[in-house]
Amino acid sequence: MPQSVPSFIDMLADCHRSAVHLEMRDAYAVGDEVDEFEAWRSGHRTNWDDRESWWHPFYQAVSDAVGRGVVVRRARVVCEPVTEYIRYEHYITQANVVAGEQVRWLPRRRATDIAFPGNDFWLFDDRLVRVNHFTGDGVMVDQEVIEDPDVAKLCSSAFEAVWERAVPHEEYQV
């Protein structure tokens, strides 16, 4: 029987100190991002001055958490040269930064000696892991929440190793 997973926004609202996200795929095909990616490929660019046109509940939840003192960090491990999707993701990361996330990028060739969990994840307060499961072509098919201290420790260790080596968003060139 599938596990009932709270929404990301609810989990972030219950977070007190830190929320970290490790992404390790070079392409995603998740929800509205599919259409947004296609629009970007066709030349559409976001008007960052028109916040109403791109701000949505995810960014508000991050902004609210940061306002409460939660440190929100995201690290992406990417192949180089980067995929077209990663170029798009780098472009739209401006929204994450405006919301208050700290974002860094690590070229995969610099990650060979890091022990990684098998899936992308969010780690809340170093104890609660939200795991994202994807198909080979980047469609999210399932999520689970794990409260095992050993899994949380592995995820924290992997994230911190990536974070230490990764390039801050504003310095990473795609």
* pLDDT, tens digit (0-9, with 9 covering 90-100), for 137-173: 999 999 999 999 999 999 999 999 999 999 999 999 9
Say what the pLDDT of residue 1 is: 36
What φ, ψ does residue 119 adopt, rounded to 5°? Answer: -140, 160
Which tokens sit at 26?
């070079």
Q: Which CATH architecture has domain 8-171?
A: 2-Layer Sandwich (3.30)
Phi, psi of 106 (to 5 degrees): -125, 120
| Token pair for 115 | 């022990």
Query: In whole angstroms, what is the distance from residue 20 CA to residue 101 CA?
Result: 9
pLDDT for the residue 47:
97
d(CA 45, CA 47): 6
Rounded to two decimals, the pTM is 0.96
Instruction: Give the domain ranges of the chain.
Output: 8-171
pLDDT at 3: 61
List per-block mean pLDDT (blocks of 10 residues) for the chain, which spans 174 residues: 81 98 96 93 97 96 98 98 97 98 98 97 98 95 97 98 98 97
